[in-house]
DNA sequence: TATGAATGAGGATTCATTCAT
DNA sequence: AATGAATGAATCCTCATTCAT
């Protein structure tokens, strides 16, 4: 493989990433139906027609952005938890998960928040493809909560799945477009930890 | 005012309601940017051109649907709380609020869920107008929680506003388009009550 | 029905006819795949977007143009034959049919030639719908030839359907875009009559 | 010229042929305006950009396909006639011509039918170039008919050029995309022979 | 009060073409 | 000899809006 081959390979990959970033931003701002390829192309410094070379269709791009969004959020969440030293307190682990989730959600690249903004208005065929990714993400949170319960920092008087859904819903709802309205990160973390802790 | 004027006035009002209902449905399904006046008109059994008579522009319709959505949800929430007899337990009042919120959100007319689906992708000028409605809704929940705290059924170790935001966020996140994924109403209520109750 | 209603009804109909005429011209010149709605709209003195009001889709317009083309040709053919007095010679009837077919095909409005130019490159779903029209047209020619055979002016040593197909094919092939290359109408008629007559 | 140059030259020639074959197929199916270089490239197992190496523009490819189509048909027609032994009956020669024409037209490689499908919708500049090829093809048929007349198997009561145009038109009209609708080859041949034979 | 008819802007997608590699 | 990547124009279609009736 010559150096020029490497260069051209990475060029396509770089453009693809630029498009995904621009798409995430537009989708986060305007949702699935409100986002336009024109604006996405502009933000990616490309002409609309050129998008087709990387993503054949708007829905292809959406699917890629969704996968990119949840997967990166899941990896960030898992990494945040994994980074907690073994000898840390169980509460630290829980706090790390919450922080990891919030960080992904409020990251400036919008990859995760694009997902939150799009999921509920997706056409069925896209949603079907997306469910698997979402499920893997939910699994990570479930594991975190289960471990927390074993370690005695998560209450055991409620169904864990329902708890997980409410926690994730509450966290996702902080991903508001107007950061002014967003409650302070620290307050959210402490409040959630309090709600979760057993009586 | 003649009787025919009265009749025609009430006809206009009825049509307006039909449009709002159709709009709520479309907005709930496709969000602000993805909903089209044509489909709304179809669902309201009207021609697109006729919409202008009732709502001059799409944004006017959106604003009306938003106001209609939050206000009706707020009234439903307030009514549910007010319906609780004075001699009921404080926990009953809290449960009534949660149930009222969920009922509004999962109502078949989509008026409340349309709001949830739209808010985050609204253009700025619409959002500005909408904030006041949202604030009044939030005020009701804040009152409910404050009273609950006074009555000893809501924990006092957390900031009440942050708590309110998380509770509302968690509740709103149950308004998913695919009712299959939605956790059972009863489980949501009991879990939330547990989380709220003081240790 | 008021006069204004009549006017508005006929306005839509008139526009529809203008579009069909423009479409026939474009389709005759460039075929199904080569014709553009832009040019059709221009020729019909409309904006492209306005076409949708009369024909929802390009394929709808094509289907209408096809039906219009064959049906009008069939009617012209049938009328030409019917116009022959009962006491005319059988040869006159045959000649009238040939002339009627040619007249339809070379008419300046291109309605019939548009069909000839489009049929073979139609997508399958359009072709399927079109077959019925084509069959009715072929039936008229078959009747003409059968009557001619009964009257002794059409040879009886060949299969009538095959003969019909070849005659129609030969006639249609005179519908060339460059009228220079087109053989003289009279010569075509006399030659065909000669070929058809029994030995 | 080195052997590798020879090899690469012949490779180019082979690719050229593959492109022409693919192009003929697409043009036969969709006509001049409806065929796309992308599909042609796909069918030729190439990327669109690579076409330019062999044919600078779409119209260059079209021109080549047209020339290829008529010329090969003309050669097939001439060869079919030439293959008839000198001592065969004149009717055999005529039949051979008809069969040769039909064989070329219905050949699976679509080279000839692509021409039939394209000619009438060609832009003027392409048509001008094409006329010469077409004329040479017509000349062959004219010769065949003239010889037939000399030999007493073609009627002499009609203009030969008009006759030729009608015969060619009738034959070409059998090149339909749906082979179901196509009349049986044998029946076409015998019917045409009958029509041509003098009384 | 509503419809019919049209507009112009913008939507996504496809197209032939170009050019560096 | 062919590919990868991009362009700009054109494709059809949908949109919200307007206005005479």
Q: Which CATH number is B166's domain given? A: 1.10.357.10
Mean pLDDT of A16-25: 98
CA D13 – C1' F1 distance (Å)? Answer: 11
If DSSP codes are grouped into helix, strand and coil, which group holds residue A91? Answer: helix
Question: Per-residue pLDDT for chain B (199 aa), expressed as one digit of tens each?
Answer: 444 445 556 888 999 999 999 999 999 999 999 999 999 999 999 999 999 999 999 999 999 999 999 999 999 999 999 999 999 999 999 999 999 999 999 999 999 999 999 999 999 999 999 999 999 999 999 999 999 999 999 999 999 999 999 999 999 999 998 777 788 999 999 999 999 999 7
Chain A residues with CB under 8 Å of B168 CB are 173
Residue D189 is assigned to a structural domain of this protein = yes
Angle between helices D3-34 and D58-82 (to 10 degrees): 100
What is the end-to-end Cα distance of chain A in Å, rounded?
62
- pTM score, whole prediction: 0.94
What pLDDT band is residue C5 in, cutting at 50, 70 and 90? very low
Interface residue C25 vs chain D (CB under 8 A): no
User: Residues C120-150: pLDDT tens digits?
Assistant: 999 999 999 999 999 999 999 999 999 999 9
Sort D82 into a burial class: Cβ within 10 Å, 0-12 / 13-18 / 19+.
Answer: exposed
Residue D173 touches chain C, beta carbons under 8 Å: yes
Packed helices D160-172 and D90-106: angle between N→C axes, nearest 10 degrees: 40
Token output for A56: 């054949």
Task: Answer yes or no: are the C-beta atoms of C66 and C118 closer than 8 Å.
Answer: yes
Q: How far apart are CA C117 and CA C177, in angstroms?
A: 10
In a domain, B104, yes or no: yes
| Inter-chain touch C172–D169, beta carbons under 8 Å | yes
Chains touching A by CB (3 or more pairs below 8 Å) = B
| Residue C152 contacts D, CB cutoff 8 Å | no
The strand F neighbours among C residues 59-78, by Cβ under 7 Å, are 59
Interface residue C127 vs chain D (CB under 8 A): yes
What gap in Å lies between CA B66 and CA B105, rounded to an integer?
13
H or E segment and range at residue C159 = none
Which residue is the nearest neighbor of E18, CA to C1'? D49
Domain-embedded: residue B107: yes
Instruction: Give the distance, in angstroms, between the CA of residue D158 and the centroid of all CA atoms in the same chain.
Output: 26
Give the pLDDT band of residue D160 (cuts 50, 70, 90). very high
pLDDT digits (tens, 9 = 90+) for C165-187: 999 999 999 999 877 778 899 99
Under the banding of pLDDT at 50, 70 and 90, the label for residue C192 is: very high
Q: Strand F: which nucleotides have any atom within 7 A of a protein Cβ?
A: 1-21
Question: Best of A118, A169, A171, A181 to disrupt the B interface by mutation (most B CBs within 10 Å)?
Answer: A169
d(CA A165, CA B170): 8
pLDDT digits (tens, 9 = 90+) for C45-88: 999 999 999 999 999 999 999 999 999 999 999 999 999 999 99
Instruction: Please give the Cα distance from B185 to C149 (Å, whole number).
Output: 82
Q: Which of residues 51-80 of D touch strand E (CB under 7 A)?
A: 51-52, 56-59
Residues of B in contact with A32 (CB under 8 A): 31, 33-34
In a domain, A44, yes or no: no
Answer yes or no: are the C-beta atoms of D70 and D133 closer than 8 Å.
Answer: yes
Domain count within chain A:
1
- Does the C-beta of A10 come within 7 A of strand E? no
Range A153-157, long-range pairs (CB < 8 A, 24+ positions): A153/A89, A153/A90, A153/A91, A153/A93, A153/A94, A153/A196, A153/A197, A153/A198, A154/A94, A154/A196, A154/A197, A154/A198, A155/A196, A155/A197, A155/A198, A155/A199, A155/B194, A156/A198, A157/A198, A157/A199, A157/B194
How does pLDDT run across A145-175, given as a tens digit for each residue? 999 999 999 999 999 999 999 999 999 999 9
CA–CA min distance B9, chain A (Å): 35
Please, which contacts does B8-17 make with residues 24 or more away whose CB atoms are closer than 8 Å? B12/B54, B15/B44, B15/B46, B15/B54, B16/B54
Supply the pLDDT for residue B178. Answer: 78
DSSP D87: T
3-class secondary-structure state, position B183: coil
Distance A39 CA to F10 C1' (A): 20
Q: Is residue B15 included in any domain, yes or no?
A: no
Residue B44 lies in a domain: no
- Measured between its terminal Cα atoms, the distance across chain B in Å is 63
Distance between CA atoms of residues D58 and D63, nearest Å: 9
Per-residue model confidence as pLDDT tens digits over D78-100? 999 999 999 999 999 999 999 99
Amino acid C169: pLDDT? 97
Check CB contact under 8 Å for D31 and C31: yes
The answer to whether position B48 is within a domain reads: no
Predicted confidence at residue A9, as pLDDT, reads 58
Q: Which residues of D touch C127 (CB under 8 A)?
A: 178
Domain range holding C100? Answer: 3-196
Touching C: D residues 89-108, CB under 8 Å: none
By residue count, chain B amounts to 199
D175 pLDDT higher than 60: yes
Query: B29 in a domain, yes or no?
Result: no
């Amino acid at each position: 493989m010559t150096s020029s081959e490497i260069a051209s390979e990475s060029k396509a990959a770089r453009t693809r990433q630029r498009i995904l970033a621009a798409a995430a931003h537009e989708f986060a701002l305007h949702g699935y139906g409100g986002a336009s390829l024109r604006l996405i192309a502009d933000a990616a410094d490309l002409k609309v027609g050129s998008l087709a070379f990387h993503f054949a269709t708007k829905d292809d791009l959406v699917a890629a952005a969704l996968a990119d969004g949840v997967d990166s959020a899941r990896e960030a969440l898992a990494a945040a938890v994994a980074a907690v030293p073994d000898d840390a307190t169980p509460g630290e682990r829980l706090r790390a998960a919450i922080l990891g989730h919030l960080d992904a959600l409020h990251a400036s690249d919008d990859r995760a928040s694009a997902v939150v903004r799009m999921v509920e208005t997706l056409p069925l065929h896209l949603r079907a493809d997306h469910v698997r990714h979402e499920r893997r993400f939910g699994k990570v949170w479930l594991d975190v909560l289960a471990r927390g319960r074993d370690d005695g920092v998560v209450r055991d008087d409620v169904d864990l799945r329902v708890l997980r859904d409410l926690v994730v819903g509450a966290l996702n709802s902080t991903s508001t477009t107007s950061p002014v309205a967003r409650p302070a990160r620290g307050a959210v973390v402490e409040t959630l930890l309090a709600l979760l802790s057993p009586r």
